[in-house]
Amino acid sequence: MSVSEFSLIEKYFHQQDISRKDVVLGIGDDCALLDIPAGQQLAVTVDTLVEGVHFLTDSSPSDLGWKAIAVSLSDLAAIGAEPAWLSLALTILKSESSWLESFSVGLFECADYYGLQLIGGDTSRGPLSVTVQAMGLVPPGAALQRSSAKPGDLICVTGHLGDAGMGLEIATGRREVQQVAQKDYLLKRFNRPVPRVSAGIAMRHIASAAIDLSDGLAGDLPHILTASGVGATINLDKLPLSTALVAQCNSEDAIHYAITSGDDYELCFTVAEEKLDTLTKALKSSGNDYTVIGRITGGSCLRYTQHDKVYDKDFTGYTHFKH
Ligand code: ADP
Ligand code: MG
């Protein structure tokens, strides 16, 4: 069954469980109107997911709905913002009700969980792509930025790295996993990333810089280094690797996944050593774990060490445009 544009918006995108008081005018008019609470700055981010580039052609629509929201929430997390509103630009080849139903269920599952209200968007016909603009709130001076890491700061990451890269291998059939619980865990890490929203908020005024890991540590950490004018040393022995990842490959491959594969949506952040206790308490009480994996240095090089020696290979993260 196919549905017209207006009934499509009404049917699949107008109903949401949460309804924020600061939304003066939501879906249905030419623009949305929002009350920005006094004493807060607006944090805005936009991300596009294109079929065949950012998600597999046979992805489940509900996973796609979840992930489209989660990746934008991960950007809000990285700056320490609290999620508030979102708009959605959806391009679809045909308006198929079963696809739209499943997509909107996944989308609202994630949006409702994080208190993000859908306030508008755009719907057009064409090759499948999903663009989400997420908006959040952060008090002036509290946003975590990429540009303020200092030599001597510790480099940390939340959670485990490399799981989503292995999940992609499983989803594309390049790797078979016998153990069902491990297979489900790794696929979930790829299909339904959990943005570290509470970690970002908890590390306001504690972390010196932060970024979310969408393109792998080797791709994303250099953004902090360049913006801050510093270098770094990463200790490969310290990388947080899940039992499920380690069970699928040798340790060198596991390290490779952890450093180079995208889609983990963990946070990488830096912190002055004297603030480590405060950080530990703040992250623990917000239900997040973290691992120290290296240190910011002077200069501009990113070095890796293993077993107390300089690691002689280089890593590259995911990039859309190779030159
Ligand atoms: P206009 O042509 O004035 O931009 P549209 O016909 O594109 O209006 O959209 C009508 C209303 O539906 C607007 O309020 C718009 O924000 C909203 N809308 C359109 N597509 C979506 C979508 N995919 N999700 C949520 N809201 C949408
Ligand atoms: Mg429009």
* Residues 129-180: tens digit of each pLDDT: 999 999 999 999 999 999 999 999 999 999 999 999 999 999 999 999 999 9
**Res 4: pLDDT:** 77
Centre of ligand 2 to C-alpha 185, Å, is 38
**Res 278: pLDDT:** 98
The pLDDT tens digits for 115-138 are 999 999 999 999 999 999 999 999
**For the CA of 8, the nearest ligand:** 1
Best of 27, 91, 129 for a ligand 1 pocket test (most atoms within 8 Å of beta carbon): 27
**Res 318: pLDDT:** 66
Distance from C-alpha of 48 to C-alpha of 68, rounded to nearest angstrom: 8
**Res 314: pLDDT:** 78
Centre of ligand 2 to C-alpha 27, Å, is 11
Per-residue pLDDT band for 320 (boundaries 50, 70, 90) equals low
Cα 105 to chain centroid distance, Å, stands at: 20
322 pLDDT above the threshold of 90: no
CB 97 within 8 A of CB 240: no
Ligand 2 ion: residues within 5 Å (CB): 122
Distance from C-alpha of 279 to C-alpha of 80, rounded to nearest angstrom: 14
Average confidence (pLDDT) over 53-66:
94
Distance from C-alpha of 285 to C-alpha of 289, rounded to nearest angstrom: 10
111 lines ligand 1 (CB under 6 A): no
9 pLDDT above the threshold of 70: yes
Q: Are strands 231-235 and 302-306 parallel, antiparallel or unpaired?
A: parallel
Centre of ligand 2 to C-alpha 121, Å, is 7
pTM of the model as a whole: 0.94
* pLDDT, averaged across the chain: 95
**Res 315: pLDDT:** 83
Atom of ligand 1 nearest to the CA of 118: 25
**For the CA of 122, the nearest ligand:** 1
**Res 272: pLDDT:** 98
Task: Return the residue whose CA atom lies nearest to atom 2 of ligand 1.
Answer: 30
- Residue count (the chain): 323
Q: Residue 302 forms beta bridges with which residues?
A: 232
Task: Return the residue whose CA atom lies nearest to atom 18 of ligand 1.
Answer: 121
Distance (Å) of CA 125 to CA 60, 67, 92, 259: 20, 21, 5, 37
**Residue 237: how many other CB atoms lie within 10 Å:** 12
Per-residue pLDDT band for 182 (boundaries 50, 70, 90) equals very high
Closest to 288 in 3D by CA, of 197, 187, 182: 197
